[in-house]
A = this chain, B = another copy of it.
Amino acid sequence: MKGETENKPVWGSRIGGETSLMNVYYCAGRDPFPKPPADEVLIPYDLWLNKVHCLMLYKQKIVDIKTARAILTGLEEISSLHRKGEIKILKEKEDVHITIESKLGEIAGEEAAGQLHTARSRNDQTTTDCRLYVRDRILEFYVSIVRLVETLLSSAAGHFKTVMPGFTHYQPAAITSWAHFLLSHAEAFMRDLTRLGMTYEQWNASPLGAAAGFGASWNIDREYTARLLGFSSVQENSLDCITNRWEFEVQTAAAVSFFMNHLSILSQDMIILSLSPRPMISIDDAYVTGSSIMPQKKNPDFAEVTRAKAALCHGRTMELLSLSRAALSGYNRDTQWTKYAIMDIFDEVHYAPILFSSVVETLKIDKAEMKKRCSEQFITAVDIADFIAQEKKIPFRQAHRILSESVLECEKEGKLDFDKINARLMRLGKKSLKLRKGDWAILTSPERLVERRKHMGAPGEQALRKNWDRLKKNLKIKKDWYKQKQKDLDSTHRMLREEIDKILKTK
């Protein structure tokens, strides 16, 4: 959807630029969009699983070549029908498993189709389907976040010296820089990548073969099916596979919730930094929404919607945690509902990282306003106190007190008065304490003040460049991980193709 735009938004002609369709859809939510049956999205995964299970039954001599061939031919045909959009979940079939099984019966005959259900249960089947589904969603989401971090890093690269006010309690607190602000978000998203990656690795294990939770008396080969499904291992204990079906989904939901929290913070930052009457940033017209009644509005709906979607993720995570609390070991139908929660989450957040990537890319920064804010409201008071303590060698607390009192004295004028500070310094009795012109030149330059903050992680340019370099290096590691996973899945698909062909092409 990315990149598409359209020209005639419903809210009139106010917004100059083109509108991002991705943004419109992200914000439209479920108002105009239907949802397919939950099991519809599982069709390709269930087909994959069926093929693999059939291959294994044949390899283990549980079904004969004729049956295997009939089943695999049938499944290939269903795959092809599915690609043409011709497989639907019918309510009388209840779910994806019965839908495919009955379709297979039509094509390959009841006899062959019936044998496919040997040595398995809907319990391990659905758990495996969901695991494959969530695994894919994590990978897609992962690479989108990688792109968002890349965007933050490239945006930051041009702003190591762009000063801006930093906030605490929504109040200007200290000078910082735009790059420092962007990197703080990049750091958070990097941790999200770590969590998503860990979740993927911890759960890239096959539950197939757990059957109803107690295994089967058939001579199945769980390692073989795991390999053909691209899992790096088998989730061993069969009861654990079924009892804790919810766990991967909740862990993923939690990992996404963390990301969405970070994104909701970036959202609120964008809303506040673009606040009237003196905005410091301006969101591109493609990503703002007008109003049907108030022609002058440029609303950052995507940011508000992101706050809502974060709450949605929390609510779903909570539901999932609660669902599985105090369950009895073994299958209970409650867990069917975990599937819906995780699907809802990915439906809602899918485009979020890409959308924010575009928003950040096209963001306009009002450097002049940012700089102006750096000399208002006594925002430099701490820097001045520190400077006095450092250069004039008086205790920090004393310097701090002098600045506190000076701010109070100068409150009406709205800015610190050089002479008044000096007067207070003089009262300490040492002439050397006096601030000089050269001092004042530093103390009135936001750039020079922020540059004095040089230590690791500080907003001074020197420190920032190191922070940037480290992030870049770590991002490379994350990207490499992603590429490896993709490669692994590609070779899994090739291997599967070969195994199927071996049977279909055997005479």
Chain B residues, Cβ within 8 Å of A25:
91
A452 contacts B by Cβ under 8 Å? yes
Out of B91, B257, B272, B294, name the residue touching A33 (CB < 8 Å): B91
Q: Are the CB atoms of B214 and A176 closer together than 8 Å? A: yes
Chain B residues, Cβ within 8 Å of A95:
28, 31-32
A332 contacts B by Cβ under 8 Å? yes
Closest to A96 in B: B31
Cα of A121 to Cα of B121 in the assembled complex, Å: 48
- Interface-located stretch among A395-403, A486-494, A499-507: A395-403
Cα of A63 to Cα of B254 in the assembled complex, Å: 45
Known: A33-B91, A170-B271, A385-B295. A262 touches B244 (CB 8 A): yes
Out of B40, B291, B452, name the residue touching A168 (CB < 8 Å): B291
Q: Are the CB atoms of A184 and B243 closer together than 8 Å? A: yes
Copies of this chain per assembly:
4
Known: A276-B171, A332-B170. A216 touches B453 (CB 8 A): yes
Within 8 A of B (CB), among A256-275: 257-258, 261-262, 264-269, 271-272, 275
Chain B residues, Cβ within 8 Å of A24:
94
A367 contacts B by Cβ under 8 Å? no
Out of B183, B291, B319, B326, name the residue touching A268 (CB < 8 Å): B326
| Least distance between A177 CB and chain B CB atoms (Å) | 9
Chain B residues, Cβ within 8 Å of A294:
168, 173-174, 212, 381-382
Q: Are the CB atoms of A269 and B202 closer together than 8 Å? A: no
Mask: chain A, 439-461; 1 = CB below 8 Å from B; 0 = not: 00000000001001111111110
Residues of A in contact (CB 8 Å), total 195
Known: A176-B214, A381-B295. A169 touches B332 (CB 8 A): yes
Out of B219, B311, B382, name the residue touching A455 (CB < 8 Å): B219
Chain B residues, Cβ within 8 Å of A145:
none
Q: Are the CB atoms of B89 and A32 closer together than 8 Å? A: yes
Q: Are the CB atoms of B167 and A328 closer together than 8 Å? A: yes
Chain B residues, Cβ within 8 Å of A237:
180, 183-184, 187, 457, 467
Cα of A385 to Cα of B404 in the assembled complex, Å: 50
Within 8 A of B (CB), among A388-408: 389-390, 395-398, 400-401, 403-408
A473 contacts B by Cβ under 8 Å? no
A217 contacts B by Cβ under 8 Å? yes
Q: Are the CB atoms of A236 and B467 closer together than 8 Å? A: yes
Within 8 A of B (CB), among A159-199: 166-176, 180-181, 183-185, 187-188, 191, 194-195, 198
Within 8 A of B (CB), among A67-96: 89-96
| Least distance between A121 CB and chain B CB atoms (Å) | 5
Q: Are the CB atoms of B89 and A217 closer together than 8 Å? A: no
Q: Are the CB atoms of B330 and A31 closer together than 8 Å? A: no
Q: Are the CB atoms of B93 and A217 closer together than 8 Å? A: no
Q: Are the CB atoms of B35 and A39 closer together than 8 Å? A: no
Chain B residues, Cβ within 8 Å of A3:
none
Cα of A20 to Cα of B198 in the assembled complex, Å: 39
Closest to A102 in B: B10
| Least distance between A64 CB and chain B CB atoms (Å) | 10
- Can you list 21 A-B pairs with a CB-CB distance of less than 8 A? A24-B94, A30-B38, A32-B89, A34-B35, A169-B301, A172-B276, A173-B212, A184-B237, A195-B251, A211-B293, A221-B455, A244-B262, A251-B258, A261-B324, A261-B325, A293-B382, A295-B400, A296-B379, A305-B333, A311-B325, A318-B318
Counting from the closest, the 3 A-B pairs by CB-CB distance are A315-B319, A215-B458, A114-B397
With A31-B336, A210-B457, A295-B403 given, name 19 new contacts (CB 8 A).
Answer: A14-B407, A32-B95, A117-B397, A121-B293, A169-B300, A169-B331, A180-B238, A184-B329, A187-B235, A187-B240, A191-B247, A222-B456, A243-B265, A265-B326, A295-B381, A308-B336, A314-B322, A315-B318, A317-B321
